[in-house]
Structure 1
C-alpha cells in the first residue's frame, strides 16, 4: 500500500521526485521578484524561497526561470557569465532562454514572463 501512495505523491510533486522535464510552475503573477539593481548584466539573482532565478542576459533585458533543474530537480546556482548551472550533476542552461546547453538535463527551465515596473522586476 505504501508503494502506491508514494507513486501518487510523486505524481503531485514532480520536481521533488526527479521527473526530468516535468515541472510544477507556481502562480507568481504580480509578484515582485527582485529590484533591477540586484540583477547584474550577464548574471542573475536566485530567489530561493520562490524557487525562481532572474537573469539579465543583456542590459535592460530581464528573464525569469524556475530554479529547479529539469534533470533531477536540484536547485540551480546564481547565474554567472550568462550561464545558469546546476551543481548537482553539471547541467547548464542559457540565461537568455533557459535552454539546456549542457547535460545531463535536456529540457529547458520553465520560464516566467516578467516586466519592469519602476525599479522592480514583476511577473507579468
Structure 2
C-alpha cells in the first residue's frame, strides 16, 4: 500500500469511475491525496452524480497517472467520511489542493483499494505488475 500511497501523494489527481446505475459508468477527474493507511481521499459535491452513484454502489475504480508513462489502476470500496475522520482527511486534501474542501456541500470520500495494477510504458521493456493489497 505504501507504493500506491506515495504515488498518489506525488501526483495528486486521477479519474474515478462510479456505477451510474444506467449501464454506463460515470467518470470524473478528482483531486486526490492518500491517508497513511493507504485509503485514497477526494472531495465531491453532495449534489453531484458521482456522490449519488457512490451512495447507491460503493464500488469504484480509479486511474492515477504520472505524466511520464507510469500509472496505477485501482479498484476498491468507497465510504463517505464523517466527523473527525472527515476533518483529518480534509486537512490533508486541503494541504495538497488548496480550496478543495472550501464549500459546505463538499463531502469527503475515502476509497480502500483491494486491487491495483502498476504500468510503466516508459520502461524498456514496459512494466505491468498486479499488486496484492
TM-score under structure 1 length normalisation:
0.29
Greater strand proportion: 2
TM-score under structure 2 length normalisation:
0.28
